[in-house]
Amino acid sequence: MTRRKLPIGIQTFAKMREEDYYYVDKTGFIAWLIDEGSFYFLSRPRRFGKSLLIDTIGELFAGHEALFRGLVIHPDWDWSLRYPVIRLSFGGGVVRSRAELEDRIRELLEDNAKRLEVAVSAPTAPGHLARLITAVRERSGQRAVVLVDEYDKPILDNLTRPELARELRDGLRNLYSVIKDREADVRFVFITGVSKFSRVSLFSGLNNLRDLTVSAPYSALCGYTERDLDSVFAPELQDLDRDEIRSWYNGYNWLGEAVYNPFDLLLLFQERELRSFWFETGSPSGLIDVLMQRGLFTPNLARIMASEALLSSFDVEHIATEALLWQTGYLTFAGQQRIGTRIQYRLTYPNLEVQSALNDGLLRALMANEAAPAEQALSRLHDILQSGEPERLREHLHSLFAAIPHHWHDNTPIARYEGYWASIFYSHLAALGLELIAEDITHHGRIDLTLKLTQQIWLFEFKVAERSPPGSALRQLKDKGYADKYRVLGQPIVLIGIAFSERQRQIAEFETAML
């Protein structure tokens, strides 16, 4: 197969089709959407191809037939029809006031009116949009298509200023409600963004939207599948380890087929090395600050349970930690179960990139944002684990905790939580991208932490020294037979009991046993 240009950062469908870029055909999904309904909403993390999807839909309804030759939708689409397409994108710039939002909306609507060759005006943004929809229907004889990209960005940019965020939310709610009021003049609506604000708070006036966010048939609407890699990108896979690619970048799932983040793969094909490309382009300092303030127990990140209602409770007044992590792409679905009338979802890291990079960021925050000590500690930890000598770990952990400034414990909320010490240790290991199981279930109970190394398996039990009898951590590992689960593997098993002292802010006990 012939190698093509990599569409890194390309969000324009016409450019991709006309200039010989790789293109993953999503028009089969688009055809299903149009056949099944007219009003849709989709939430996906950043850099997942939402803008390209919106642009593809716009070009389709505009009737630009040449761009779609050879694609799934081409034979069955009526190319004699051309619909007026109204596009609103809030991706550019940052809105810092309600007045700026109104100005931005007015500019967008005026640009659409000029492109669609109609003249409309109104004293308010909702009124302006309403008249625009009516005018383009009258001029073209076809109902309007309304496409909104990054619908939530003005709000997300101002979450640290709740009063302003609420003002912007109300302004956008008034705007979007117009679409429902002009339903008779609208052929198709598609709205995308990162967040999934509760329907009551933002879409109360647009209650006919079908939310595709967790619709299994459309899980791969954005992103690249395994099949896409093996077909479309086959020329780029030479000399790259397919299993490593899968481990590093695959795993985003919305209850259907798992997908890769397109940005990661395109950068991988360009640079030819495994790195945290997606994470590095948007280091979530604000997210980490929130996690620190809330005292998140980091081992829980790999096994969070959340209800359907909780994941939809994203709003200015309160953003559930689980919803925040899921909607921003740092956690994904690993399964679901129905409990009575409720659906519960199991969330976990999507892949090695996110597990490693997020925990690296958390580790730095847990260590008072001291970057150099965190980096040095990771290098030492890697050497210790490679040596297979658990006794060396005690000295390492002692140095790790001693490096944390004393004032950090007094001034940081999470440092006062019981799980603080275990959180540091867990994130320390997870930042290396190791295979970890927190709260590992056995027939005899739960192992606090299991670490699977190439030649050994290490089982950890954590205690707080002031609240537990001496030696109880290691004794629990032995007495409850936690190692039985792994004996069948025939590998050496190391039991490690650790007790942290809240008063000393250090390790009080570190006991090991080899099986």
Which tokens belong to 130?
């309403």
Lowest mean pLDDT among 57-61, 404-408, 413-417: 413-417
Which helix H or strand E contains 471, and what residues bound it? Answer: none
Nearest-angstrom CA–CA distance, 264 and 445: 39
Judge if 25-218 and 387-514 fold alike in CATH terms: no
Which tokens belong to 312?
């939809």
Query: 423 vs 27, which has greater pLDDT?
Result: 27
Nearest-angstrom CA–CA distance, 61 and 82: 6
Instruction: For residue 255, give the 3-state DSSP assignment.
Output: coil
Nearest-angstrom CA–CA distance, 211 and 42: 6
Q: Which residues contact 500 (CB under 8 A, 6 or more apart)?
A: 421, 422, 462, 463, 464, 465, 506, 507, 508
In 290-399, where do the E strands start and end? 304-307, 332-339, 342-348
Architecture of the domain delimited by 387-514: 3-Layer(aba) Sandwich (3.40)
How sure is the predictor about 42, in pLDDT bands with cuts at 50, 70 and 90? very high
Global confidence as pTM? 0.90
Q: Does pLDDT of 487 surpass 80?
A: yes
**Among the ranges 340-344, 378-382, 467-471, which has the highest mean pLDDT value?**
467-471
Which tokens belong to 122?
């109104």
pLDDT tens sequence across 236-295? 999 999 999 999 999 999 999 999 999 999 999 999 999 999 988 775 566 787 777 777
Lowest mean pLDDT among 66-75, 116-125, 430-439: 430-439
Predicted pLDDT at 417: 58
Q: Does pLDDT of 223 surpass 90?
A: yes
DSSP of 374-425, one letter per residue? HHHHHHHHHHHHHHT-THHHHHHHHHHHHTS-HHHHHH-GGGGSTTHHHHHH
Predicted pLDDT at 443: 81
Q: Does pLDDT of 410 surpass 70?
A: no
Percentage of the chain lying above the pLDDT 90 cut: 59
Q: Answer positive or negative: Cα dihedral of 252, 257, 261, 265.
A: positive
pLDDT tens sequence across 60-91? 999 999 999 999 999 999 999 999 999 999 98
Nearest-angstrom CA–CA distance, 283 and 271: 20
How sure is the predictor about 505, in pLDDT bands with cuts at 50, 70 and 90? confident
Q: Where are the domains of the chain?
A: 25-218, 387-514
In our burial notation (b when 16+ CB lie closer than 10 A, e otherwise), range 92-131 reads eeebeeeeebbebbeebbeebbeebebebeeeebbebbbb
Predicted pLDDT at 30: 98
Question: CATH number of the domain at 25-218, out of 2.60.40, 2.40.360, 3.40.50, 1.10.1660?
Answer: 3.40.50
Predicted pLDDT at 109: 97
pLDDT tens sequence across 318-339? 778 888 889 889 999 998 888 8
Q: Does pLDDT of 407 surpass 90?
A: no
pLDDT tens sequence across 176-191? 989 988 999 999 999 9
Residue in this structure with the two tokens 């140095």, named with its chain if needed? 399
